[in-house]
Amino acid sequence: MAKHAKPNKTPPDFQGAIGLNGDAIEGTNVGVPVFRFKEIYSIPAGLVTFGYKVVLFHLLGWVKNTPFGSTER
């Protein structure tokens, strides 16, 4: 980043600060890209038993160690 000052003056060194306003550094917002998608499957209501719901409850917070879309266990 170029620094400019009046002739015979040294430009201030803000050390890369963004949004300097007097004595405060306001900074900037940095957008973080997010990749989101959904997969929706329909199954007969009779297959969603209480036991199946319990299994799903216990799977919350776990991750698979097989490739995405794999049916391996």
| pLDDT score of 54 more than 90 | yes
Please, what sign has the CA dihedral across residues 48, 53, 59, 61? positive
Say how many CA atoms lie within 13 Å of 22 toward its Cβ: 1
pTM here is 0.36
Q: What is the DSSP secondary-structure string of 17-41?
A: -SSEETTEE----------------
- How many whole angstroms separate alpha carbon 20 and alpha carbon 16? 10
For the chain, give the percent of residues with pLDDT over 90.
Answer: 21
* 24 DSSP β-pair partners: 21
Residues 4-24 pLDDT 10s: 778 888 877 777 777 778 778
